[in-house]
Homo-oligomer: A and B are copies of this chain.
Amino acid sequence: MAFPEDSVGLVRPQMLHFSEPLMLACGRSLSDYELVYETYGELNAARSNAVLICHALSGHHHAAGYHSGEDRKPGWWDSSIGPGKPIDTRKFFVVSLNNLGGCNGSTGPGSLNPATARPYGADFPVVTVEDWVHSQARLADALGIQQWAAVVGGSLGGMQALQWTISYPERVRHCLAIATAPKLSAQNIAFNEVARQAILSDPDFHGGHFQERGVIPKRGLMLARMVGHITYLSDDAMGEKFGRELKTDQLNYDFHSVEFQVEGYLRYQGEEFSGRFDANTYLLMTKALDYFDPAAAHGDDLARTLAAARADFCLMSFTTDWRFSPARSREIVDALIAAGKNVSYLEIDAPQGHDAFLMPIPRYLQGFRSYMNRIAL
């Protein structure tokens, strides 16, 4: 059980039950719910060193460290969280949760609906980035955290970080939004729609109540993940990784064989994902992405939307990210400058596409670390 020295080591998920109903943007409410979360580092006496990690589409609370000595892989953002890492756990107390609607322990479609005593399935209410932020604020209350030193997230997680500065301006000192966008483009929505249709049209979806039938819409989930995965990697990264390398020496000239390595990779990614992720959660996450558009309530004026924010901002983007390109980050930077906020922006030259935000890219980690190190406690 020897963990790397710069790892937070063994961690244990915790659970909190919330019994005050949560009103949701969709007009429905959750009468009560649970959130599963992990913490790394220690909350200081002034309670001024707490950092919230917001996860992206397929993420969860297990962001760093290991659940057991047998774990082959640490949490999903272990490259950025730990002693000496950008989010240095010697300095910060880090909180990472699984969002409502998730499939990793927090109340979601797989949970029992108290109204019916059956799993929610597709009856779980559609949750938005705003809803998540409200639920995260309650988690902060429960943990005795009045103000976050920083709220940090990439992709859909970055949207939550931004939303925090709008919904709870006085509760965030720094917002780090990485590889994100102020709202989806039509193309982003289109990819989400294909993923949803793949799931919805799978005969094993059963209107979202597959759980009761003991089946999983595996094919739909697999297709959804395959489409998603293509958008996470850059054309360059795929070319670098697979090129047109053949799986075998000879072409098979049929539909079933894996001819090119990229096909095998995608099928594997899809298969693996469909075995561990919930289809209803996938639908919910894509909807949260589609609906995120904080400026809509402010005449589409992003600067006006962010005017009340009191945080300082750090935006980061990656040159080959075509899901949320640097241009989308610059929209936010421009709005923040127009709103008179303090904003740092780092555009990282990286071939990995959108996935770069999860990777240990030296220039990225260095910029990330520099910003976090300067945060006053």
Residues of chain B lying within 8 A (CB to CB) of residue A219: 201
**Most chain B beta-carbon neighbours within 10 Å: one of A28, A125, A230:** A230
Interface stretch of the complex, out of A2-10, A69-77, A169-177, A190-198: A190-198
Asked whether any CB of chain B lies closer than 8 Å to the CB of A186, the reply is yes
Asked whether any CB of chain B lies closer than 8 Å to the CB of A13, the reply is no
Contact with A262, one of B193, B239, B260, B283 (Cβ below 8 angstroms):
B193
Contact of A243 with B186 in the complex, beta carbons under 8 Å: yes
Can you name the residue of chain B whose Cβ is closest to the Cβ of A256? B200
Complex Cα gap A323–B162 (Å): 32
Contact of B184 with A197 in the complex, beta carbons under 8 Å: no
Interface stretch of the complex, out of A141-149, A285-293, A304-312, A356-364: A285-293
Known contacts A193-B262, A201-B222; is-contact A293 B187 (Cβ 8 Å) = no
Residues of chain B lying within 8 A (CB to CB) of residue A263: 189-190, 193
Contact of B223 with A190 in the complex, beta carbons under 8 Å: no
Complex Cα gap A293–B183 (Å): 39
Residues of chain B lying within 8 A (CB to CB) of residue A184: 244
A192 vs chain B, min Cβ distance (A): 9
Contact of A238 with B197 in the complex, beta carbons under 8 Å: no
Complex Cα gap A244–B194 (Å): 16
Complex Cα gap A253–B262 (Å): 36
Residues of chain B lying within 8 A (CB to CB) of residue A203: 203
Contact of A126 with B222 in the complex, beta carbons under 8 Å: no
A351 vs chain B, min Cβ distance (A): 13
Shortest 3 CB-CB contacts between residues of A and residues of B: A26-B253, A186-B238, A126-B253
Interface residues of A (CB under 8 A from B): 25-28, 122, 125-126, 183-187, 189-191, 193-194, 196-198, 200-201, 203, 208, 219, 222-223, 226-227, 230, 233, 235, 238-239, 241-244, 251, 253-256, 259-260, 262-263, 266-267, 270, 283, 287, 290-291, 293, 322
16 contacts between A and B (CB under 8 A): A126-B255, A186-B239, A186-B241, A187-B230, A189-B263, A193-B263, A193-B267, A194-B223, A194-B226, A196-B255, A197-B222, A197-B267, A197-B270, A201-B219, A223-B223, A255-B287
